[in-house]
């Protein structure tokens, strides 16, 4: 029986002199998986980061990989975003991830901030492009750190959906219960858009701790203690961590999750270790490979976008 879930991956642009080829090695390892798409994040370096993102996006499209770029609220004005959408259409891109993004460190010097919140940016994209792009937003099973109450968290999510978002990808988590109850909450509040689960494979204990503090993601105590015990034994850590994340993925698939989105951090070793331990993930990837020959939907022309 076919599984309706899909698998996708996330990459971020990196400067060549700092990367040592890791990014392109990751792409080489992703390509055989025939991902549903690869999302490309946008860093905190202003227009330079968008230039780096475009370089990566163009390369992925040359490799015949479907790309979903991130767009954030800061650094680009409305005209720059309009031009960026035109470039994406040229590249055959019809889906975006729209997030607020991190506040620039030099926010007082910023003169190009046209949007303060993701829903405002979503509304603008819909105004100028209609339904040309599917718009994916961020969702938080363990709640957005900036929300003071549960109701505020729900209201923020619904505000983005009402502005025109039609998919969501979650922050990563390690508790299937957190995701299950999040889905229940969405159902109770008539939130019906497809929700893809964000998955963070574990490659390094201290790195995960730092990243989780930045993202306000919870590491359950039982997992934290076990990872800490293995942190000086990389082989044992990867074996244990890949077991944990593979089991989480299997549980999500059994739950009927719309998709699984792997935050690779530009290194595929931990992700591949998880895939190797899950026959359910392997089955989905096999289905995706068999579907790659399907023709992509026809995209609007640049002229059509400009006339809206």
- Whether residue 1 lies inside any domain: the answer is no
Domain with 54 in it: 6-307
Q: What is the pLDDT of residue 42?
A: 83
What total of structural domains would you count in the chain?
1
Point out the catalytic residue in the list 10, 29, 48, 87.
10
Q: What is the pLDDT of residues 208-224, one digit of tens each?
A: 999 999 888 999 999 99
Give the contacts of 196 (CB within 8 A, at least 6 positions apart): 6, 8, 136, 167, 168, 169, 170, 257, 258, 259, 260, 261
Q: What is the pLDDT of residues 222-233, one digit of tens each?
A: 999 999 999 999
pLDDT of residue 86 exceeding 90: yes
Q: Which residue has the higher pLDDT, 135 or 303?
A: 135
Q: What is the pLDDT of residue 303?
A: 46
CATH number for the domain including 44? Answer: 3.20.20.220
Q: What is the pLDDT of residue 113?
A: 66
- Whether residue 214 lies inside any domain: the answer is yes
Work out the average pLDDT over 54-83: 93
Q: What is the pLDDT of residues 151-199, one digit of tens each?
A: 899 999 999 999 999 999 999 999 999 999 999 999 999 999 999 999 9
- Whether residue 257 lies inside any domain: the answer is yes
Q: What is the pLDDT of residue 10?
A: 98
pLDDT of residue 308 exceeding 60: no
- Whether residue 215 lies inside any domain: the answer is yes
Average pLDDT value for the chain: 89
- Whether residue 282 lies inside any domain: the answer is yes
10 is catalytic: yes
């Amino acid at each position: 029986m076919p599984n309706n879930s899909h698998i996708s991956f996330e990459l971020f642009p990196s400067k060549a002199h700092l990367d040592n080829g890791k990014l392109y090695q990751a792409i080489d390892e992703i390509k055989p998986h025939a991902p549903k798409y690869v999302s490309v994040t946008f860093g905190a370096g202003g227009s330079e980061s968008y230039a780096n993102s475009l370089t990566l996006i163009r390369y992925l499209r040359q490799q015949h990989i479907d790309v979903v770029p991130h767009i954030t609220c800061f650094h680009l004005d409305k005209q720059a975003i309009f031009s960026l959408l035109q470039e994406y259409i040229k590249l055959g891109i019809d889906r975006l991830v729209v997030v607020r993004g991190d506040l620039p460190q030099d926010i007082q010097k910023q003169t190009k901030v046209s949007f303060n919140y993701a829903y405002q940016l979503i509304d603008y994209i819909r105004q100028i492009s209609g339904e040309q792009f599917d718009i994916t937003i961020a969702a938080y099973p363990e709640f957005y750190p900036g929300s003071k109450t549960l109701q505020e968290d729900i209201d923020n999510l619904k505000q983005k959906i009402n502005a025109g978002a039609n998919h969501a990808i979650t922050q990563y988590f390690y508790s299937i219960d957190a995701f299950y109850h999040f889905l229940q909450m969405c159902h109770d509040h008539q939130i019906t858009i497809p929700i893809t689960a964000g998955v963070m494979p574990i490659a390094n204990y201290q790195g995960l701790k730092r990243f989780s503090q930045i993202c306000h993601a919870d590491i359950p105590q039982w997992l934290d203690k076990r990872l800490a015990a293995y942190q000086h034994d990389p082989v044992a850590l990867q074996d244990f961590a890949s077991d944990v994340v593979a089991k989480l993925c299997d549980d999500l698939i059994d739950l009927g999750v719309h998709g699984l989105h792997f935050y690779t951090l530009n290194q595929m070793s931990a992700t591949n270790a998880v895939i190797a331990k899950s026959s359910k993930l392997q089955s989905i990837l096999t289905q995706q490979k068999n579907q790659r020959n399907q023709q992509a939907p026809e995209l609007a022309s640049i002229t059509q976008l400009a006339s809206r």
